[in-house]
Structure 1
Amino acid sequence: MSRTASKLSLQEFLDLSESNDQFELVDGELIPKMAPTSPHSRTQKRLLRLIDDWCEQTAQGEVNPEWTVALKRNGVDWAPVPDLTYISSNRIPADWDGEGPCPGIPELVVEIISPGQTFGGMTEKSTDYLLAGVDRLWVVDLKAKSVSVFRAGHLPQTIWSNGSISDPLLPQLVLPVSRLFARRGE
């Protein structure tokens, strides 16, 4: 889909009949998302399972894949569609009907670097997320077998496949990074 005549508003983007998870809204324009590869999808699925199991056990929040997030970037509507989005229960309005984009600014988004994307590009996107109020970003690098954690007011931290992610945002959840990159059946 291409719209060059006019810029889309956030509401126009959200009202599109097409699947929003195939595009992101950046500076009023539809930007196609990268098509994931099998390793990307497998890593996304593993992370989703691990975080969703924690959400189910603790009832502290909700995590979803490819969930549109309505934010501002440089003062302009921005609607990224992260690979995973986590929002705590206390940020979900009591009257939210479960439909539409993420109902508030999430605490955590996860972006997995796809072919054609770069770590530098993801670092720039991470800065945009942080400036928009997202507390944490996990950038998963399939080639380097690492997860870089970006937090407001902190230097990024890279956790390699021999380490684990432990974050006060998700108490008692410990994610061995090697599990994200294991081959099928390992």
Structure 2
Amino acid sequence: MRVTPALLVAFLVVCSGCMGLGINSDGSVQSPDQSGDQSATAGTATQETTNVEENVSAAFVTNGERTNVTLEVANSPDERSQGLMHRESLPENHGMVFVFDEAQPQTFWMKNTLLPLDIIFISADGTVINVEQADPQPNASDLELKQYSSDEPAKYVVEMRQGFANRKGIESGTKFVFDGERPTTEN
């Protein structure tokens, strides 16, 4: 499928809106602001945070050794917007994979996210681009929230408990593979 500029702009607007970001008239991404907050209130901290019913098995391959993970799939705009907000825990080797239609620069933030996370940006061919360690900012305003970005276009973003990447030796260049079919996006 050929992506037209108009289709690309429409896609960016939808994706940026899901992440609480805006698009400037020149196509650049705006910083988060109060108007982009569509998140749940703090009183919903114990509720399930996504409608994710799909889990996938995948692995990070470092020096020929596999680290198997179970990932909830966030492949719709609503699921990507909600992510791991309000979660109080994650089982070991369990996280979430954000799936996008195409590889593009990705930016995440920790709004309403209670757990420190490793944010692992992955290219379309399954190569880890970069890993960011993200800390919760419970009392930060939208303008104060730190942003975590991919160094290159990413098709997948995996979030795991912070420290996972360091413990397992996951860094730029590590391979990431799905066991079975790769998840695709939903509209």
Q: TM-score, normalised by structure 1?
A: 0.33
TM-score by length of 2: 0.33
Structure with the largest fraction of helix: 1
